[in-house]
């Protein structure tokens, strides 16, 4: 089978290409240029070309910066300006890695696209990886169901430690096994505020108010805060911790309260992506990548791609713009972005 592999210069995509070639497939590689982070691409392209030479495969360099800006970067900047907390990786997987790159793979005669994500596809459903510490099902939950037949994830049934060990055993690939892992947003050098400062003045002090609208302190600029944050602002005469419970971008205000004020049982979603036919169902849901799963009852409005989640217990720190993913066991059955 002719397969294109998304290659980043990291150990996961490198070993993905190696595994597929060893399985007898005709492999091509593709490195995507998505942004202009200084010094980022040169080193990665060197590594990708090194792997291409080692495996004897063709490697494409694909400039997708315009599409990335449209679907990932610009929404990232806009949502922070609106006082929300975006999830750029989910959008990148949907529109870029398993969108534009899949189109490129097909245009080059490939039957499948492979990536180094730690995730499985079982019976047409995105399913958690065998290695729970590396599972990326959450970040792929916005990918349309019909795309899954065209993509494969060779690392989904493997453990990361084993992948690194195998790479360490091949002299030319040793550097991939020992290099530091990247878990940050690829276009952010240090902090997201530095990115926003290229577009806005984020350091505009404003008022900290309580739930009743009374001014009780000052903050350094609303874009510095996300829901649940408890530091970086002043509450006059405070003796107990205060948490950000709401961000009012139009007024440059942050609303603070107690930890109990963060609690929320009903969550509204937009841009819902369904993998099942039902519009009412029970599930386990994650409101953030690292959050524990909570039981919920879900009602979906298919026409408007919205949903209402009623949680069995309170969730803390529910943030507008974050991705909410619904599971049935290890299977992803729906996802949507938090809007309330």
In this predicted model, what pLDDT tens digit does every residue of 243-262 receive, in sequence order? 999 999 999 999 999 999 99
E strand residue ranges, 150-214 = 151-152, 206-209
**Residues annotated as catalytic (active site), given as ranges:** 92, 186
Residue ranges at the known binding site for ATP:
6-13, 32, 116
Q: Helix or strand or coil: residue 289? A: coil
- What six digits make up the tokens of 257? 């309260």
Q: Helix or strand or coil: residue 31? A: strand
Q: Cβ neighbours of residue 287 under 8 Å, at least 6 residues apart?
A: 267, 294, 315, 317, 318, 322, 324, 338
**Is pLDDT above 70 for 183?**
no
Domain(s) labelled CATH 3.40.50.620 in the chain stretch across 2-178
Query: Cα–Cα–Cα angle for 275, 276, 278, nearest 5°?
Result: 145
Instruction: Please give the pLDDT value at position 340.
Output: 82
Q: Helix or strand or coil: residue 204? A: coil
CATH number of 263-338: 2.40.30.10
Entry pTM:
0.95
Closest of 249, 256, 274 to residue 336, by C-alpha: 274
Domain(s) labelled CATH 2.40.30.10 in the chain stretch across 263-338
- 201-259 maps to CATH 3.30.830.10: no
Domain(s) labelled CATH 2.30.30.280 in the chain stretch across 201-259
In tens, the pLDDT along 254-289 reads 999 999 999 999 999 999 999 999 999 999 999 999
Q: How far apart are CA 264 and CA 18, in angstroms?
A: 46
**Is pLDDT above 80 for 180?**
no
Report the pLDDT averaged over residues 57-75.
98
Window from 72-76, 159-163, 172-176, 189-193 with minimum mean pLDDT: 172-176
Instruction: Please give the pLDDT value at position 148.
Output: 98
In tens, the pLDDT along 70-120 reads 999 999 999 999 999 999 999 999 999 999 999 999 999 999 999 999 999
Confidence class for position 156, pLDDT limits 50, 70, 90: very high
Confidence class for position 185, pLDDT limits 50, 70, 90: confident
Q: What's the fold here for domain 2-178?
A: Rossmann fold (3.40.50)
For residues 114 and 5, the answer to whether their CB atoms sit within 8 Å is yes
State the chain's mean pLDDT as an integer: 96
Phi, psi of 97 (to 5 degrees): -65, -45
Q: How far apart are CA 142 and CA 215, in angstroms?
A: 40
């Amino acid at each position: 089978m002719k397969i294109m592999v998304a290659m980043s210069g990291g150990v996961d995509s490198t070993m993905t290409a190696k595994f597929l070639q060893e399985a007898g497939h005709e492999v091509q590689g593709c490195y995507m240029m998505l942004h202009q982070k200084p010094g980022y691409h040169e080193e990665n392209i060197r590594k990708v070309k090194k792997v291409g030479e080692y495996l004897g495969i063709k490697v494409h360099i694909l400039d997708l910066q315009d599409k990335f800006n449209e679907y990932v970067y610009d929404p990232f900047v806009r949502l922070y300006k609106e006082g929300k907390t975006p999830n750029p990786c989910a959008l990148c997987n949907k529109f870029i890695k398993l969108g534009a790159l899949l189109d490129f793979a097909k245009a080059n005669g490939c039957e499948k696209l492979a990536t180094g994500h730690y995730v499985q596809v079982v019976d047409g459903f995105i399913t958690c990886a065998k290695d729970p510490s590396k599972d990326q099902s959450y970040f792929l939950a916005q990918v349309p169901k019909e795309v899954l037949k065209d993509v494969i994830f060779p690392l989904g049934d493997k453990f990361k430690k084993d992948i690194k060990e195998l790479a360490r055993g091949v002299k030319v690939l040793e550097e991939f096994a020992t290099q530091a892992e990247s878990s940050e947003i690829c276009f952010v050098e240090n902090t997201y505020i530095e990115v926003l400062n290229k577009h806005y003045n984020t350091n505009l002090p404003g008022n900290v108010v309580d739930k009743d609208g009374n001014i009780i302190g000052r903050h350094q600029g609303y874009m510095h805060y996300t829901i649940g944050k408890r530091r970086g602002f002043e509450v006059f005469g405070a003796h107990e911790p205060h948490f950000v419970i709401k961000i009012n971008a139009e007024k440059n205000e942050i609303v603070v309260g107690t930890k109990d004020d963060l609690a929320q049982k009903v969550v509204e979603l937009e841009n819902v992506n369904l993998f099942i036919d039902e519009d009412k169902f029970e599930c386990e849901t994650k409101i953030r990548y690292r959050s524990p799963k909570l039981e919920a009852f879900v009602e979906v409005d298919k026409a408007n791609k919205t949903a209402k989640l009623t949680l069995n217990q309170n969730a803390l720190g529910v943030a507008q713009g974050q991705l909410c993913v619904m599971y049935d066991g290890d299977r992803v059955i729906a996802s949507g972005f938090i809007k309330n």
